[in-house]
Amino acid sequence: LREHLAKGQRTLAGEGMSQIVRSLLELLQRRSYYSGDLLFSTEILRNVTDTFKRATYIPAPDDVQKFFQIVSHMLDLENLEKWEDAHQVAPGAALLMRILEDFIHLIGEAQKPFQSFLVVTNNLMITIQREPVSAVSSDINFPMKGRRGMKDWARTADDKLYIPKEVFTIPTEEAETDSESTMYYVIGAILYRTLGVILPAPAPPAVINSKILTVTVRPEPQPSEPMVVVELSPLLN
């Protein structure tokens, strides 16, 4: 993996990084690794994402799916003890969240306007959409349970996110100064099935534990009032 990483960063960013993604997925599917391997895999995914960004290379759809599968494998509950050990060294799961957000924006910036993307794995549900800053087409409802490809855990989840399109309204003077690169919002929503258990417990401990739902929007909107609604179903009482 280190050899492929060096190769990709030197000359063949697309080909080299794609090979890393494929190799890492194969290794994780064997399920014979240690806590340090989770941290090393997190660092590999960060390097892959950074290299894609620097090379302005958009990975193929198959590589995108593999990237998300890698993250899903890493967040399997069977790795809970490994993550507990890893968190003694570094906040690996939190770093993984940030890397996933960066990768989502890498993919989203290449999408066509109004195009949406859905991926559901054993431990993740992700939607990505690209909307014109001047006219976000509709309210954001996540998850949309009628979508094809849903797994049972996602279909039956009671967790909900609602963002009215008015949140994305920008002042006229700001709209006039926008450059071409900021003419579109990339909106990503992620529902993590297991991350709430894997992350270190808060201090003081939370009374209710739930799945973790995150939203990432770039450029960042500045709504005049809070209008985002999030409903999370408890895992433990």
pLDDT in tens, 175-219: 555 555 568 999 999 999 999 899 987 776 665 567 899 999 998
Give the model's pLDDT for residue 237.
39
Give the model's pLDDT for residue 13.
62
> Does residue 6 register a pLDDT over 60?
no
Give the model's pLDDT for residue 77.
95
pLDDT digits (tens, 9 = 90+) for 17-48: 788 898 899 989 988 889 999 999 999 999 88
Give the model's pLDDT for residue 2.
59
How far apart, in whole angstroms, are the C-alpha atoms of residue 237 and residue 126?
27
Q: What angle do CA 95, 112, 103 make, to 5 degrees?
A: 10
**Other Cβ atoms closer than 10 A to 163:** 22
pTM of the model: 0.87
Mean pLDDT of 150-178: 76
Mean pLDDT of 222-231: 73
CATH architecture group of domain 2-236: Alpha Horseshoe (1.25)
Q: By C-alpha distance, which of 106, 120, 113 is closest to 14?
A: 106
> Does residue 143 register a pLDDT over 80?
yes
Q: By C-alpha distance, which of 109, 110, 121 is closest to 65?
A: 121
How far apart, in whole angstroms, are the C-alpha atoms of residue 120 and residue 27?
21
How far apart, in whole angstroms, are the C-alpha atoms of residue 101 and residue 162?
19
> Does residue 60 register a pLDDT over 70?
yes
pLDDT digits (tens, 9 = 90+) for 72-130: 999 999 999 999 999 999 999 999 999 999 999 999 999 998 888 999 999 999 999 99
Asked if 83 contacts 92 with a C-beta cutoff of 8 angstroms, the reply is yes
